[in-house]
Amino acid sequence: MHKLKKNTKSAKIRVRIPHILVDARGADPKLLEDLMPGLLELEARVRILGKGTGPIPHSFSSEEALEEAQMWVVLGNKLPQELPMMLERGIVPILIAGLHPHAENYIPSKETGNAILFQKHSAWHIYGAIVRALENFSFAYDWESLKNSAKELLA
């Protein structure tokens, strides 16, 4: 009878869990409320910055958010003051088209664009943009390309 040899070395599996910050400062509270059910279904760590209620935890400060986030969803009509620091740290902005004059929607097949954009302040448009960002996050090469391209928004 042949005995199976136990593998004494365990392989370490590295799982990347995306961290999403939803910046609700200056946004319609109803928008966050409408978006909440979708956010709860994401396979990601989600935090809220600004006012909002619900089961998703808050970031206590923008400094905390800058340390943890990989994606920064801007729900309001104003760019966050932290934008330069966000871009320098490789945090990908998700924002409404036209909010930043040089923001272009990222298209992975062409490797063009420097942000993930949505067209309307609606829960469905924003949720769709977050899902697109998560899809790109799952491909390390595309994600690095997007992070590097986002730094163009500093100019």
100-106 long-range contacts, CB within 8 A, separation 24+: 100/153, 102/152, 102/153, 102/155, 103/153, 106/136, 106/146, 106/149
Query: In sequence order, which residues have a C-beta less than 8 Å from that of residue 10 and are 6 or more positions away?
Result: none
Beta bridge partners of 117: 95
Domain ranges for the chain, please list them: 19-154
pTM of the model: 0.88
Instruction: Give CA–CA dist 145/113, Å, rounded.
Output: 9
Q: Which CATH superfamily is domain 19-154 in?
A: Glycogen Phosphorylase B; (3.40.50.2000)
- Phi, psi for 116 (deg, rounded to 5): -105, 120
Q: pLDDT tens digits, the chain, 155 residues: what are they?
A: 555 555 556 666 666 899 999 999 999 999 999 999 999 999 999 999 987 667 888 888 889 889 989 999 999 999 999 999 999 999 999 999 999 999 999 998 998 999 999 999 999 999 999 999 999 999 999 999 999 999 999 97
